[in-house]
Chain A
């Protein structure tokens, strides 16, 4: 079990991430990302390449080697940053039960 739990105190880091999902992050945001991307999970969100460099579908990769990747219906991305932001919001909701969009009304 990961020790760090995401709370409302992390909302500023969510704003930071949604503004720039790739590259340099503050230590606080890095900790949030480590929690979301680390080993403590039953499945992992993955980007299944539909067309290289232009189109991805969202999938859930189970922990078990060789298990089927479950596709999330209707979720298609044409931009990797957009995909990162969407996955971040999904994980925020998975981990806190809260809708990040509602907490951050001005985020995209």
Chain B
């Protein structure tokens, strides 16, 4: 493991991409920053620009309007980057799967843009913050 990877593992900057979620997943994400979980202990912070990010945290189902924006955000992220699909909606469409406004799932869209993308699925509706931390740990052990 090189120095670069070691540093990357200790400092994951996250950009939150809300692809029309119901807002419940987003509240669970904010829980991660509170004193109870405090992910800054592991070097994880939220940043405001995809260009600074090492990880995209994607919530919600991707409808027709959001799709080009999601692709643009993915292309604006400096590689290497990890995509976390947070919540049942972004993992497999949840109850909205097959709806008229959900033509494709998020992992299909991202894999079409970049076949080598690293995608981590964190299921749950919404997932607990502990599940999120477990997901990050799994992703880091693969890197």
Q: Check if A and B associate.
A: no
